[in-house]
Amino acid sequence: MINPVWFIRLARPLNLAMVAIGVVVGYFVEGGSATSSGIVLAPAVAILATAGGNGLNDYLDKDVDKIAHPKRPIPSGHLSPESALVFSAVSFILAIIVSFLVSWICLAIAGINIGLMVGYEMRLKRGGLFGNIAISYLVGSLFLFGGAAAGGLARTLILAPLAILATLGREIAKDVEDMEGDRDSRVTIPMKIGKKKATIIASSLILSAVALSPIPYLLGLYGSFYLYILLIADALFVISALVIFFRIDLGEELAKYGMLVGVGAFLGGAFL
């Protein structure tokens, strides 16, 4: 009998918590009610879809993980590849069913995202830029999904592009950092154009997110509280965009913290 704990490990709880938070932020940014079923159902869809994606990832990477991640459920022998694949399929199907209970827009977003997850795992992640774009869209779409669950997209349509730009910059920076290790499995932007040009692109994308970030305040969608927190996030992003030229690992880490503070700015702006 299989211990359910290994399915939980296959799903990667920390990833599930992060995507749930992104959906909840989008939900409240669009004025969603804490008493509505959407506050439970929308994060559940994101959790199920992400669990399915992680299960598919481990199934497809089972041979690589024997060396790279030997303690994961499949290479450690606690789960068979077939059980991981079934887990992935069931998770995707449940995500679609639950999204239907939220709204037609949520169903459409969930369908697109699951298709993209499968495409990413099957092919896109080995293609460099297209894989980076796919991941960046999936991060930004969490806010859109949450907003759709609340019944609107006015504010999250501004939030999502900022998240996509910042994430894309960070993903390219990570590819620069991992360039040597990726040579046998992926063809990334740094491999095609060189580290320096790729770093410039990553820095430019992060700075683009900074340049666009005041737009919600200028449009009157958020008040001064949003701006105060945003200044901290933007400072981290600007420092990150400069540091990655000298310490790519530190710059990428600062960008991650900038994204977390930025999410706090949007969530705070929704209430204050």
Q: Is the pLDDT of residue 269 over 80?
A: no
pLDDT at 182: 65
Q: Is the pLDDT of residue 118 over 80?
A: yes
Q: Which residue has the higher pLDDT, 66 or 8?
A: 8
d(CA 265, CA 260): 9
d(CA 74, CA 65): 8
Mean pLDDT is lowest, of 27-41, 64-78, 111-125, for 64-78
Among 265, 28, 17, residue whose Cα is nearest residue 146: 28
Q: Residue for token digits 């600062």?
A: 254
Share of the chain above pLDDT 90, in %: 67
pLDDT in tens, 140-193: 999 999 999 999 898 899 889 999 999 999 999 988 888 876 676 778 888 889
pLDDT at 1: 65
Query: pTM score, two decimals?
Result: 0.90
d(CA 76, CA 78): 6
* 263 — pLDDT class (breaks 50, 70, 90): confident
Domains and CATH numbers, the chain: 1-152 (1.10.357.140), 154-272 (1.20.120)
d(CA 148, CA 104): 9
CA dihedral 109, 111, 113, 116 (to 10 degrees): -140
Alpha helices per DSSP H over the chain: 4-11, 13-29, 38-60, 62-68, 81-102, 104-122, 129-150, 156-177, 179-182, 189-193, 195-212, 215-218, 224-243, 248-271
Among 116, 119, 10, 96, residue whose Cα is nearest residue 46: 96
Per-position b or e across 127-158, b if 16+ CB within 10 A of its CB: ebbebbbbbbbbbbbbbbbbbbbbeebebbeb
Q: Which residue has the higher pLDDT, 137 or 66?
A: 137
Residue 140 CA, distance from chain mean position? 7
